Amino acid sequence: MIQRAARDLVRSRHALALTGAGISTESGIPDFRGPGGIWTKNPEAEKKAYQAYARFQADPKQYWEERLSQPSLLGSLESLKPNPGHLALAELEKMNILKCTITQNIDNLHRQAGSQNLLEYHGNAFRLRCSSCHSRYDPGEYDLKRLRQEGKLPPACKECGAPVKSDVVHFGEGIPADVAEQSLEQASLCDLMLICGTSAVVYPFALLPRVARERQDARRHRAVTIIEVNAEPTPLTFENISDYLLQGKTGEILPRILEEVKKLRRE
C-alpha cells in the first residue's frame, strides 16, 4: 500500500493534503477530552473556550484583558517540534508533488516543518487576525503589554482599524472567508487528496473530501484519488469516501511514502 500511495502521488498533477490532530499527537500535543486532556484536567478552560467568541463580540477590551491575565496556550506549544509526518509533507511540497496542505491544527507545526502553501482552517495560535478584514499579524507587531498599561486594548487592525483577535477560530465563529474559499477551490482542483490524522467529520472542514469525492471525469469515473493515513478506520473509510486506508501512525507512514516517491523519481 505504501508503494501504491507513492505511485499515485507521483502520477498526480495536483495533490492536496488534509491534516488534523492525529498528525500532531506524535509531537506531544495532548488532546482535549482524553484521560490527560487539556479540558479533562481543567474544565474551566473548556467553559471559557466555548465562551471566547461571544466575549470578544460583546467586549473586545475585556476579551484581551482576560487573555493577557491568564497563562497562554502558547506556553504549552512553543517547546513542541514538528515530527517526521510534518517534515515528510513539507518535503513532498518542495518536490512539487504536494501543491497545498489544509490543516485543522492551530499549533504552527506545519510552518515550522517548512510547509509554504498552507491553509490553516481553524487559524494559528501564534498569530492575530482582524475581526473585519482578516488581515493577519504576528503578536510581536503589537506591544500588548504597553497597550494594556495605557488602557488602549483591544489592538486595532493596521489596515482598517477594527479590533484584532487571536487568529484561532473560536467556537461559534465562522471560518474566515478567504481560507474557506481557498480550501474549497483546492478541493475542486485536486486529483489526489491525502488525508492525514483526521476523520474529517467536523463541518465545514468535512465538506472538503466530500466535494472532491463527488467530482467525476468525462467518463463518469472518479476524478480524484483519496488516500487516508489514520490510526483507525474512520467514517471516510466506511462511507467509501476514501479509496484506501494506510492504517498506522502518520509519523511512520508518511516518511515511508516519501522514500518510495524518491525512489520512483530516481527511476
Q: Which of 135, 166, 197 is the last residue of a domain?
A: 166
Give domain status of residue 144, yes or no.
Answer: yes
- The question of whether 122 is a catalytic residue gets the answer yes
Residue 89 lies in domain: 1-29+81-121+176-267
Residues 6+ apart with CB under 8 A from 207: 184, 187
Same structural domain, 68 and 186: no
Q: What is the pLDDT of residue 49?
A: 74
Give domain status of residue 95, yes or no.
Answer: yes
Same structural domain, 96 and 19: yes
Give domain status of residue 17, yes or no.
Answer: yes
- Residue 101's domain is classified under what CATH number? 3.40.50.1220
Q: What is the pLDDT of residue 29?
A: 83
Active-site entry in 14, 122, 134, 221: 122
Q: Is the dihedral angle over the CA atoms 54, 57, 59, 61 positive or is it negative?
A: positive
Task: Identify the band that residue 51 occupies on the pLDDT scale cut at 50, 70 and 90.
Answer: confident
Give domain status of residue 152, yes or no.
Answer: yes
Give domain status of residue 254, yes or no.
Answer: yes
pTM of this structure = 0.91
Q: d(Cα 66, Cα 80) in Å, to the nearest integer?
A: 25
Mean pLDDT, the chain, whole residue set: 91
Give domain status of residue 185, yes or no.
Answer: yes
pLDDT 10s digits, 181-214: 999 999 999 999 999 999 888 899 999 999 999 9
Q: What is the pLDDT of residue 79?
A: 82
- In this structure, of 58-62, 179-183, 222-226, 247-251, the range with the lowest mean pLDDT score is 222-226
Task: Identify the band that residue 122 occupies on the pLDDT scale cut at 50, 70 and 90.
Answer: very high
Give domain status of residue 171, yes or no.
Answer: no
Q: Which residue has the cell 488581515?
A: 135
